[in-house]
Structure 1
Amino acid sequence: MNPLDAPPSHLDVPKGEQEDFYSDDDLFKIQSWGADLSFRELISRYDEDELVKPELQRHYVWDKSEASRFIDSILLGLPVPSIFLAKTNNEKLLIIDGYQRLMTVRDYVKGIFSKNKKVFKLSRTEKIHKRWRGKPFAELKEEEQRRIRNTTIHAIIFMQRSPAKGDTSLFQVFERINSSGRTLLAQEIRNCVYQGPLNTLLLELNNYPIWRKMFGKNIRDDRMRDVEYILRFFALSSDEMLYSNVFPSRISLKKYLNQFMDDFNEDEFIDDFRDNFLKSIGIAYECLGNSAFHNLSTSNPDQLIERFSPTLFDSVLIAFFLAIRNKAPITNNVECQKRKLTLLKNPEFQNLLAKETMRTSNIRRRIAMAYDAFFGE
């Protein structure tokens, strides 16, 4: 694993989940083709919402020097690197790679630099041809303005042909092709590929104050790990996961969460998802407080460590979700804390939290143990 992708110190992620990779035949169910598109056309499509940047994908990050250098290259007639787009089921084009380049040209033509909201004038450094230093688009000669608008950039466009529903293969395309400088984590890619009501709900719930307290950070995780844990709650609490007799004996968490977002990214599911999460997290907070998802210290078995445990999170929160659904009696805060401590001191439960965490029988067993600990007689 790239060190930049490793979980931060406040997360207690099992090693097996950090090394979750998969590949399957989805990559062979897509079609790709090339198209030369002018910046005039790309800007128009973006303004008309036909060319879209995924929600919270990436902010504009180039500084004025980088942006000016790119405009200078276009004016000099130098080749422009290709961009990658994905054609969606609703006939829009999703930007996979190339957002910085596209927005740089759009900003310059429109006259305002996105990063500081000031007039976009090219830098006055020696890296920029003296003919254009310090000039906004409006001060260029007409033929220079046309040169920028009419410059074409080669776009490689992907479209998933089979299965007709969903974008499972595009996840892997994005994962392999994106060149933004650091590897994107799974939820960052889902946020780009699986646009829709479920993705919007995840971003909404991630701002819920009680969740922020229990996750342990007021500031949202810039790699979207916190968003993925909410998705994880929805996916692992599904009836299919908990009760199906034909469910796989082991899952790739990455692939399973992709499929779940693909299958449930519809308006009809959103109200129930929101209600289930808010009720479950609310009662878990009342009973267990900020440390609901903290495991025991290995050096002091009576003390909790201040690290969020994903496997403890899904075990406990799904147990509370099932208790609400089953209308099981919920004990007071003091009793809940005692029961949690007893559960955490169980060697079998600790083993389930740390090893083979994506084996279906282990997922079901650790949730069942949490349910029995809190709501059993």
Structure 2
Amino acid sequence: MMTEAHLEAETGLQPHSEEVYPDAVIKVSRDQYSAFEIKRMVEETQELILAPPFQRENVWKYPQKRELIESLLMGIPIPVIYVFEDENGIKQMVDGRQRTSAIIDFMNGKFALEKLGMLPDFNGFRFKDLPPLYRSKLERYQLLVYVIEPPTPERVKYDIFDRVNRGGTQLNNQEMRNALYSGKATSLLKKLRHLQSFKQATGGSIQPKRMRDQYVILRFLAFYLLRTGRLDFSYKSNLDDFLAFVMRYLNQANVALLDHLTGTFDIAMQRAYALMGEDAFRFPIKNTQRRPINMALFESLAYFFAILPGSQLVSDASLVQAIDRLKQAFDASDYFRNRVDGTHSVNYRFSEVEKLKDALQC
């Protein structure tokens, strides 16, 4: 299993990198919307997108929802809501999804109030059962919303997202991307992580918990698109900006490209498993211990299998030997442990697999 410790040990990556951005432009505005307006923005105008559920345990239960509604009916202030606004003015929920969903669900009659401590007379009431004055009070309740606006850089947005979510379950960067760029990109990642070929090639060891599997797949897709000349992006050790750019790119992709990426990834995983088994993306055993899947090795070798012409798979034994020699060279280098996402490290590993592919064609 590739744990956070393994990720850090094998790749040198920290779950939350601390970068300095002295010249960043940070734009945050303060708005106020009634509960009725929020409901309308979500359900009718689609101006506000509630992010898909994050993979974390503290999803609200009904007692929490009922207590929130009781607070609103009493006029008690609740914490501010944070949203991101894109270039088109569409807002996406950052923090406040559980509260917003509870309000909308109650107004839609999806649950009744029970075991209220301060307003016991409303026990058993749904929204339609409330006295008109209280229905109006709930609809007019003002929610304070902080809007993070463009051109705030992606890495600054992630730090804001992280700070907002402290105190609950901290979200990693892939969970943030899943929230911010819901659409074709997130659908593709979910589809690819369920492929049998991916599970076989990795021995099922890259777990879906905290979206680790989708993160690894996204990295492969991003570098594959970059190295094959499909992206107009200058990679300068700016991984978070790069992956955000790719998520936006995939959300605008046509069906042909999405199908191509699905087929390419599937074939790459099939080739990896057929030739190398479950150890394709692992470095050789060290001190009698089987080593975990190395993320940088995964994306570079998956790229190799993706660009390798099918005719090159005929001489299986010689190909396996060539890959093993490359893995030994990779393991002896420092490019798979420290500053893995640095420009030099990225160029090194992908250039080496491209050289191997070219050598096999000679």
Counterpart-to-counterpart distance in 1, 2:194 and 2:75: 46
Encode CA deviations 1:111-143: one digit per residue, 9 max, x unaligned. 21xxxxxxx222326x35322234333332222
Alignment CA distance shift 1:278-1:70 (3 Å): same
- Which residue number in structure 1 is paired with residue 87 of structure 2? 89
How many percent of aligned residue pairs carry the same amino acid?
22
- Which residue number in structure 2 is paired with residue 351 of structure 1? 334
Alignment CA distance shift 1:86-1:11 (3 Å): closer
> Normalization by structure 1: what TM-score?
0.79
**More displaced stretch, 206-215 vs 68-77:** 206-215
Asked whether 1:31 is paired with 2:27, we answer: yes
Pick one of 17, 38, 50 that aligns with 2:47.
50
Counterpart-to-counterpart distance in 2, 1:134 and 1:159: 41
Counterpart-to-counterpart distance in 2, 1:331 and 1:70: 64
- Which residue number in structure 1 is paired with residue 271 of structure 2? 283
Contact 2:52 2:179 in 1 (8 A): yes
Q: Write the mapping of 1:57-136 to structure 2, written as runs, cut at 5 A.
A: 57=54, 61-112=59-110, 120-124=111-115, 127-136=117-126
Alignment CA distance shift 1:267-1:227 (3 Å): same
Task: Give 3-state SS (helix, strand or coil) of 1:223's partner.
Answer: helix
One-letter code aligned to 1:317: A
Offset of 1:338 from its aligned partner?
Answer: 4.3
Task: Give 3-state SS (helix, strand or coil) of 1:278's partner.
Answer: helix
Counterpart-to-counterpart distance in 2, 1:88 and 1:347: 40
Contact 1:22 1:252 in 2 (8 A): no
Contact 2:35 2:141 in 1 (8 A): yes
One-letter code aligned to 1:54: A
Alignment CA distance shift 1:257-1:241 (3 Å): farther
Encode CA deviations 1:9-46: one digit per residue, 9 max, x unaligned. 77675352126332436741x53322221111111221
- Which residue number in structure 2 is paired with residue 314 of structure 1? 299
Offset of 1:251 from its aligned partner?
Answer: 1.1
Task: Give 3-state SS (helix, strand or coil) of 1:228's partner.
Answer: helix
Contact 1:198 1:264 in 2 (8 A): yes
- Which residue number in structure 2 is paired with residue 329 of structure 1? 312
One-letter code aligned to 1:147: K
Counterpart-to-counterpart distance in 2, 1:347 and 1:193: 34
Offset of 1:73 from its aligned partner?
Answer: 1.0
Encode CA deviations 1:167-209: one digit per residue, 9 max, x unaligned. 6654443333345712211111111223443333222222222
- Which residue number in structure 2 is paired with residue 232 of structure 1? 219
**More displaced stretch, 258-267 vs 183-192:** 258-267
Counterpart-to-counterpart distance in 2, 1:111 and 1:342: 64
- Which residue number in structure 2 is paired with residue 206 of structure 1? 193
> Normalization by structure 2: what TM-score?
0.82
- RMSD over aligned CA atoms reads 3.4
Counterpart-to-counterpart distance in 1, 2:214 and 2:147: 28
Extract unaligned runs of 5+ from structure 1. Answer: 1-5, 113-119
**More displaced stretch, 52-61 vs 99-108:** 52-61
- Which residue number in structure 1 is paired with residue 131 of structure 2? 141
Counterpart-to-counterpart distance in 2, 1:368 and 1:157: 42
- Which residue number in structure 1 is paired with residue 239 of structure 2? 253
- Which residue number in structure 2 is paired with residue 223 of structure 1? 210
Contact 1:83 1:156 in 2 (8 A): yes
- Which residue number in structure 2 is paired with residue 274 of structure 1? 262
One-letter code aligned to 1:92: I
Encode CA deviations 1:287-306: one digit per residue, 9 max, x unaligned. 22233212222113xx743x
Encode CA deviations 1:238-275: one digit per residue, 9 max, x unaligned. 45599x9x966x61433432343345542145344333
Counterpart-to-counterpart distance in 2, 1:219 and 1:308: 8
Counterpart-to-counterpart distance in 1, 2:85 and 2:234: 32
Task: Give 3-state SS (helix, strand or coil) of 1:156's partner.
Answer: strand
One-letter code aligned to 2:63: S
- Which residue number in structure 1 is paired with residue 169 of structure 2? 182
Contact 2:283 2:331 in 1 (8 A): no
Counterpart-to-counterpart distance in 1, 2:131 and 2:206: 46
Counterpart-to-counterpart distance in 1, 2:294 and 2:357: 18
